[in-house]
Structures are given as structure tokens and as C-alpha cells.
Copies of this chain bind each other. A is one copy, B any other.
Amino acid sequence: MPSFSEKLEAAIRIKKTPALVGLDPRYDMLPDGLKHSGCSCCSENHHHGNYLNPETIATAFGQFCYRVIDIVAPLVPAVKPQIAFFEQYGSMGLFALENVIHYAQQKGLLVILDGKRNDIGSTAAAYADGLIGAKSSIWGGDALTVSPYLGDDSLEPFAQTAKDRDAGIFVLVKTSNKGGSMLQDLIANGKPIYQHVAEYVESLNVSDASANGYGNIGAVVGATWAEQLTELRAVMPHTWFLVPGYGSQGGSAKDVAGAFDANGLGAIVNNSRGIIFAYKTGEFAGKYDCWEDAVLAATKAMIIRLAEDTPAGKL
């Protein structure tokens, strides 16, 4: 069986782009046709008491994500569902997520679960066991994002499970938000905290890289930090980057150019709101008769820009 690193490379080469579509459903941003049109008890906004009816929301999230997947599956290598937006609606929301994961994989997409999970060793093992492994875990993620604050013995169970199951993880190194600097940029032993994490992650890949040169333990590095992307590409030559923050958060294709190696491999670049809610926000808002056409246009535009302004054009 190919490793996660090999599957990711293959998917990128087939689609000829490192563009990744983030599935971050928000009920108030859904197209009108997918929102519940009203019921006998609550007219149109579905507030039952203080919160929304989770079953209604979960159903709409599923329908919305299926349609997004139908549009982007021929174009991109992977999708990244953000677990928070499903978890927000309880076990019903998460049942919808299970179905979205399987639907995306049936359409040939890799699924990177964005959960930023972690805990101490034996509990980390439970998260890894449940979440990663396309055919060998209940959730079935091809990869999962993981937080590093708990240190090496919390990351090891994820790394081991990833290896055993041909899956991957992406460890938070330098996050796209401004406040990430609070801890990540503190200097210890002459280098920032994020670089300590970077060197540890790289060390896990050095002896365990695929023929493409990359291992299965990736790093999350925000598109909003162009300089650090270039710096970290040099520090982590065997490590895939998952680059969030493109589009709505301000990162451009030029900003993420440093994330790639000379052959255009080594990184996947995520866009969530800028694609799935393109009908409502950003440069494509209001330009199309149906929301699906805006999703298509935004996806194609991102693919073209990454090809023009980064080494991914060589794919």
C-alpha cells in the first residue's frame, strides 16, 4: 500500500495542483435553497429556545458539502473538513461529517480532517485510532491536524498510527492567525518556539521519507507568513506543508510560493470560505446566478494563480 506521502503526491500530480478546499460549513452562510424554509414552530430561523435545531443544520451541511465535493472533486487532490463546524451541532452534526468524509473519498478525494486534536499519550492514541486511516478507522481520515503543546510523547502515538495505517498528520508549527505569535514566536535557545516544533517534526520524517523525499508527518504553516514559509521549507526538507490562510485570511499565491520545493511539490494550500462561500464573499460575490458556479470559478481561479505564481506551475 502507498504511504500517505505517496498518495498525496499522486493526487497532486493527477490534478496538477496543490489546491485544497476547506469544508467549513456555517449555517448563516449557506445558500437560501439549502436552508430550511420554515416550520410550524419557528418560522424561518430555526431557533428552538436558545439554539438551532441540530438535525436541520446537519442535514443542510451534508447537502451543501456533497454539492461542493461534486464540483471540486475533478479539480483538486483533497478536501479539509473543519471538525469544529460539525461538532458545533452535536452528534447529529458529526454524523453528517462521517457521511461527508465517505462521500469525498468515493469521489476520489483525500480527506484531511482539521481537528487540531491532541492529549497525553494513551488518550492521543485513542484520537489517532478513531480519526486516521482511510479504511482502518471509524472516521476514516487520510490525515488529521494535531496540536504540539503537549510535546513529543503526545505526538508519537499519532505518528505511529499514521505509519501503521498509511495515513498522515499535520502538526501545527506556525499558525495563520496574528495571535499565534504569542507563544510560537517566543525565542528559546536562540530560536522561536515554532522552529523547535519544526525541527522535531522534520526529525520524524528524515529516516522515514517516501521515494518522493517527504514523510507522513506534515506541518501547518500559515499563508500569512511568507518569510517563515521560505525559512521553514529550508529547515524541513522532508516535510509536507499544509498552508492555511490563503484568500479570506489575506495570503496570496505569491505569499505561499516559498512553501514549495523546486519541483512544485511539498505543500498543499487551503482555501475555505473563499471557495465554498464565493457566491457571497470576495471577488466572485454576486457575479453568478447560482452558488455552484461561484464555487467552480473560485476553485479554477485559485488553481491558475498557484500555477502562475508558485513552483506548482511545474506540476
Contacts and interface: CB of A to CB of B under 8 A. Distances in A.
Interface string A156-175: 10000000000000001001
A180 B150 contact: yes
Interface in A176-226: 176-184, 186-189, 193, 196-197, 200
Contacts of A187: 188-189
Contacts of A182: 151-152, 196, 200
A90 interface: yes
Interface in A108-140: 114, 116-121, 123-124, 126-127, 129-131, 135-139
10 contacts: A84-B123, A84-B130, A87-B126, A88-B129, A93-B130, A116-B150, A120-B177, A121-B179, A149-B180, A155-B179
Interface residues of A, number: 67
Contacts of A92: 91
The residue in A148, A180, A184 that gathers the most chain B C-beta atoms within 10 A of its C-beta is A180
Copies per complex of this chain: 2
A10 B61 CA distance: 40
A220 to B, nearest CB: 10
Given A50-B136, A149-B147, A126 B175 contact: no
A177 B118 CA distance: 12
Contacts of A88: 126-127, 129-130, 138
Q: Nearest 5 A-B pairs (CB), nearest first?
A: A153-B179, A151-B179, A151-B182, A88-B130, A186-B188
Contacts of A181: 151
Nearest to A90: B138
Contacts of A98: 90-91
Interface of A: 24, 26, 50-51, 54, 82, 84-85, 87-95, 97-98, 114, 116-121, 123-124, 126-127, 129-131, 135-139, 147-156, 172, 175-184, 186-189, 193, 196-197, 200
A183 B92 CA distance: 36
A72 to B, nearest CB: 20
Contacts of A54: 138
Contacts of A147: 116, 118, 147, 149-150
A165 to B, nearest CB: 9
A151 B186 contact: no
A42 to B, nearest CB: 16
Contacts of A50: 135-136
Given A51-B138, A91-B91, A130-B88, A196 B175 contact: no
A95 to B, nearest CB: 4
Given A51-B138, A150-B175, 6 more contacts: A87-B131, A89-B130, A91-B98, A149-B180, A150-B172, A151-B180
A184 B116 contact: no
B154 A183 contact: no
Contacts of A176: 120
